[in-house]
Amino acid sequence: MKRLAAHCLLVFPKIIHKQFGKRYSWSSINIPSSATFRSCIWKMENQHDDNCCLFTPSIITLTVSAVLIAITRILYILCQSGKPLRPSKSPKPLSTLIVLGSGGHTAEMINVLNVLLQKDRFCPRFYVAAATDNMSLQKAHLLEENVFNLNGGKGGSTQFLQIYRSREVGQSYITSIGTTFLALVHALWLMIRIRPQVVLCNGPGTCVPLCVISFLFKMVGVRWSSVFYVESIARVRKLSLSGLLLYKLRIADQFFVQWPQLQKKYPRAHYVGCLMESKGGEECCFCEAVIA
């Protein structure tokens, strides 16, 4: 483009002289020589190259720095994860997000909460269930009423929330793309609103986006949320899809299983025994694992 502009500047005065004759004399127009134009073009090209040379390394430097900072932050999070909640002389309450699932997931979680809520440490509490799951929130209401009565009319602040499912049972994969996006946006909105310090979950698919967002909050420094995942007692030989994702991606700070063969297969998991049929011993071990 620069060479074309220079050529036009050389030819244009000649065209004017040819069309208008003596009205515009050739001598009255100061036309630079072609050598002068070549010199100007060479200087402009060299200046452009110098600017590119200065601009390109700065972009590379910023990109490398950002990648190194992100890697360092991830390594720090992985090193700090996997630790129980350390009690202090005056322990402060921890805002807790409890993810409930339909059927056996809620029954197992209620059984665990019956022991955990004896310690007045996990409050305020936020119960989250799928939008199409009403039974789980009803059971959570009954649990809170029992805790309220056992504590002599004293109870922490609780909220009961619902979240969209990524995919319903039998839903086609094409339509699930839109529902998955909607569920992620809703989960992000809930996490920004709650910003929990503790996330308790035990297998329902609704816990995955919430746990992933809590990990991203750690990355950007919004809130340090400790994720405690308890695999369902129905999983004897292999993990559920939710558990496998949280285990492989190292999103769960502590991962608990209820069968010894699972602990052997997944060495980073903690074996706490069968919580559903226990008489208190295994549940106490679980509590000690959560709060050292």
pLDDT tens string 13-68: 554 455 445 444 444 545 555 556 556 555 555 555 544 554 566 888 888 888 88
pLDDT tens-digit map of 126-153: 999 988 888 899 999 999 888 888 776 6
Q: Which residue has the tokens 């134009």?
A: 37
Nearest CA to 235 among 254, 255, 211, 261?
Answer: 261
Q: Is residue 32 domain-shared with residue 167, that is, in the same domain?
A: no
- The domain of 182 spans 94-289
Q: Are residues 109 and 53 in the same domain?
A: no
Last residue of a domain, one of 22, 56, 80: 80
Tokens of 225: 């949320």
Both 279 and 139 in one domain: the answer is yes
State whether 142 and 247 are in the same domain.
yes
Structural domains counted in the chain: 2
The verdict on 158 and 187 lying in the same domain is yes
- At residue 95, does pLDDT exceed 60? yes
**Does residue 166 share a domain with residue 35?**
no
Shared domain check, 235 and 200: yes
Q: Determine, yes or no, domain membership for 110.
A: yes
Q: Which long-range contacts (CB under 8 A, 24 or more apart) does 73-80 make?
A: 73/219, 74/219, 77/215, 77/218, 77/219, 78/250
Domain assignment present for 86:
no
Residues 124 and 253 in one domain: yes
Domain boundary, last residue among 80, 115, 146: 80
Token readout for 22 is 């003596």
